[in-house]
């Protein structure tokens, strides 16, 4: 009798252990599935973002000399960077650029988004595509296009003046006083549609019942736009401001392309990114260029954090 009980309980334990193993396998497969889908992105992200950043960070802590080789200098390159007048000249240029370009670009994006959301424009798809199309143009191509329009000897205005026997128009936009507005015009043309779509998507999320209630109370379209629509999309507007600040500090392609037309105006440290490029690929100072790049990242983080702080403070006060 005891042997019979042992023979019955032994298969039972065997079945229960097999059941636990099968449940464990299913659980592993179920939990591993998201990581398998994320694996391609993680591999590319680590290979082309994390590892290069760590390598650049390591470079920034060393200095290579012809005599003496490569030596560890710690934060000496960063101290040198924050005392570098060329670096701060580039920061001043991009801040001036941003002070001109960001309000104009976001103001136009907001106006276009309000117009599209108002329902007064027919064939919205065509208008959305038309506003967004410049964003699909690579920045180098956009700079070449506008550089052709700015050209004093080969631009369309110069050709028209030549056809009528008139002197070519003055190339104000390629002078020291006009180069930053010229660059701001290129970026405004290219990125207004992108920011417009962000604001338009935020406007589409607002319940339409709010507009109907406001109209019943006698509110005009102007009051609805300024008292309902714009306040409700302020988070999206601040998001576009942060994106614009980051993009402004990373300005590179446009001045590099236009430098051919204005070599005496756009120098090799006109923007911080241009300065990094010059140090790394022309002067071969890879360690110092890495320190400049991380210093730029620190400045970008400080400015972005300041905008976020002001945003959160405004929301708390409201």
- State the pLDDT at residue 55: 92
Contact indicator for 91, 98 with CB cutoff of 8 Å: no
Same domain, yes or no: 138 and 239? yes
- State the pLDDT at residue 268: 92
How far is C-alpha 8 from the chain's CA centre? 69
Same domain, yes or no: 102 and 19? no
Contacts of 14 (CB under 8 A, 6+ apart): none
Q: What is the CATH number of the domain that holds 175?
A: 1.10.3720.10
- State the pLDDT at residue 58: 92
Same domain, yes or no: 28 and 165? no
Task: Please give the C-alpha separations between residue 75 and each of 60, 81, 92, in angstroms, as whole numbers.
Answer: 8, 10, 24
Q: Per-residue pLDDT for 2 more than 50?
A: no
Same domain, yes or no: 285 and 233? yes
Residue 50's region, left for phi above 0, alpha for psi from -120 to 50, else beta, is: alpha
Domain membership of residue 65 (yes or no) is no
Same domain, yes or no: 201 and 276? yes
Q: Which of 11, 30, 60 is the last residue of a domain?
A: 60
Domain membership of residue 66 (yes or no) is no
Tell me which residue of 290, 248, 279, 261 sits closest to 86, measured CA to CA: 279
- State the pLDDT at residue 156: 80
How far is C-alpha 61 from the chain's CA centre? 27
Same domain, yes or no: 145 and 43? no
- State the pLDDT at residue 44: 92
Could you tell me which residue, 97 or 312, shows the higher pLDDT? 97
C-alpha–C-alpha distance, residues 272 and 94, integer Å = 8
Which string of DSSP letters, residue by residue, matches 203-243?
HHTS-HHHHHHHHHTT--HHHHIIIIIHHHTHHHHHHHHHH
pLDDT per residue as tens digits for the range 38-68: 889 999 999 988 898 899 999 999 888 877 7
C-alpha–C-alpha distance, residues 86 and 187, integer Å = 23
Same domain, yes or no: 41 and 122? no
User: Both ends of the chain: CA-CA distance in Å?
Assistant: 81
Tokens of 27: 């659980």
Same domain, yes or no: 14 and 88? no
Domain membership of residue 72 (yes or no) is no
Could you tell me which residue, 34 or 71, shows the higher pLDDT? 71
- State the pLDDT at residue 83: 93
Q: Which of 10, 34, 60 is the last residue of a domain?
A: 60
- State the pLDDT at residue 31: 76
Across residues 12-16, what is the average pLDDT?
Answer: 53
Q: Per-residue pLDDT for 275 more than 90?
A: yes
pLDDT per residue as tens digits for the range 101-124: 999 999 999 999 998 888 777 777
Domain membership of residue 214 (yes or no) is yes
Same domain, yes or no: 6 and 99? no
Same domain, yes or no: 12 and 97? no
Q: Which of 13, 34, 60 is the last residue of a domain?
A: 60
Which string of DSSP letters, residue by residue, matches 302-318?
HHHHHHHHHHHHHHHH-
Domain membership of residue 218 (yes or no) is yes
Same domain, yes or no: 184 and 36? no
Could you tell me which residue, 21 or 154, shows the higher pLDDT? 154
What is the number of domains present in the chain?
A: 2
Which residue matches tokens 């252990």? Answer: 17
Domain membership of residue 55 (yes or no) is yes
Q: Per-residue pLDDT for 219 more than 70?
A: yes
- Exposed/middle/buried for 137, CB within 10 Å: 0-12, 13-18, 19+? middle
Same domain, yes or no: 110 and 168? yes
- State the pLDDT at residue 248: 93
pLDDT per residue as tens digits for the range 156-191: 877 877 777 766 666 778 888 889 999 999 999 999
Domain membership of residue 175 (yes or no) is yes
Domain membership of residue 68 (yes or no) is no
Alpha helices for 61-178 (secondary structure H)? 76-82, 85-118, 124-136, 139-150, 156-163
pLDDT per residue as tens digits for the range 122-145: 777 788 888 888 999 999 999 999
Q: Tell me which residue range forms the domain holding 10.
A: 2-60
């Amino acid at each position: 009798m005891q042997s019979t009980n042992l023979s019955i309980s032994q298969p039972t334990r065997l079945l229960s252990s097999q059941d636990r193993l099968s449940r464990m396998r299913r659980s592993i497969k179920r939990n591993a599935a998201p990581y398998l889908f994320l694996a391609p992105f993680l591999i590319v992200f680590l290979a082309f973002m994390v590892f290069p950043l760590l390598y650049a960070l390591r470079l920034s802590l060393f200095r290579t000399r012809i005599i003496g080789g490569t030596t560890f200098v710690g934060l000496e390159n960063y101290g040198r960077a924050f005392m570098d007048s060329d670096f701060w000249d580039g920061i001043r240029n991009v801040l001036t650029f941003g002070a001109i370009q960001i309000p104009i670009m976001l103001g136009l994006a907001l106006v276009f988004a309000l117009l599209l959301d108002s329902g007064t424009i027919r064939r919205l798809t065509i208008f959305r595509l038309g506003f967004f199309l410049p964003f699909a143009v690579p920045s180098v191509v956009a700079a070449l296009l506008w550089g052709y329009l700015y050209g004093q000897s080969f631009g369309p205005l110069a050709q028209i003046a030549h056809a009528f026997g008139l002197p070519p128009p003055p190339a104000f936009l390629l002078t020291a006083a006009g180069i930053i507005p010229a660059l701001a015009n290129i970026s405004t043309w290219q990125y207004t549609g992108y920011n417009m779509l962000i604001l338009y998507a935020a406007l589409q999320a607002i319940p339409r019942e709010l507009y109907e209630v406001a109209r019943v109370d006698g509110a005009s379209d102007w009051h609805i736009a300024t008292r309902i629509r714009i306040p409700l999309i302020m988070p999206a507007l601040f998001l576009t401001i942060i994106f614009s600040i980051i993009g402004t500090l990373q300005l590179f392609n446009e001045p590099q392309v236009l430098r051919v037309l204005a070599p005496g105006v756009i120098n090799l440290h006109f923007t911080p990114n241009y300065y990094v490029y010059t140090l790394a690929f022309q002067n071969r100072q890879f360690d110092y260029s890495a320190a400049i790049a991380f210093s730029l990242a620190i400045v970008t983080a400080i400015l972005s954090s300041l905008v976020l702080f002001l945003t959160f403070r405004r929301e708390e006060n409201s």
